[in-house]
Amino acid sequence: MEQKELINNCAVADTAQLYAELWVSLASLLRSYTAIHGLNGKRQATVELGEDRILVRCGESWLDLRRGGATVNWQREDGRSGMLELTEAGQLRLWNPRPQNRDLGRPSGENESEEEEMDMAAERWARELMQ
């Protein structure tokens, strides 16, 4: 195996590991924020983490996130769905920001950027789920 090929294989493995770590971090953020939002209403959410799926449930509300590499497909209990991408910087990139920002519950006028910090997205999802 040539040195260049070895370096490329290592880079692919490192990138895959990075996305796996970011995925675990996203689940942890969702756990933390749902716990915080549940304190006032004495509600509790469950966050199930798998290698390629995060499922957050609170009563009849749920958020289903499924990952393939850096791509994340999301779906809500009311049929809303969309696609995001994990970035190497630890952000979520919206594939089609205008319709998805509205679908994710973000107020209009907040769609100047196509990328959002994972913690901000997790907090918003948790707040919406725990209402």
Listed residue (46, 47, 49) closest to 21, CA to CA = 49
pTM: 0.79
- At residue 89, the 3 state secondary structure works out as coil
Does the pLDDT of residue 74 top 70, yes or no? Answer: yes
72-80 average pLDDT score: 96
Q: Where are the domains of the chain?
A: 3-129
Average pLDDT, the chain: 84
pLDDT digits (tens, 9 = 90+) for 19-70: 999 999 999 999 999 999 998 878 899 999 999 999 999 999 999 999 999 9
Contacts 24+ apart (CB under 8 A), 66-75: 67/19, 67/23, 69/16, 69/19, 70/19
Does the pLDDT of residue 99 top 80, yes or no? Answer: no
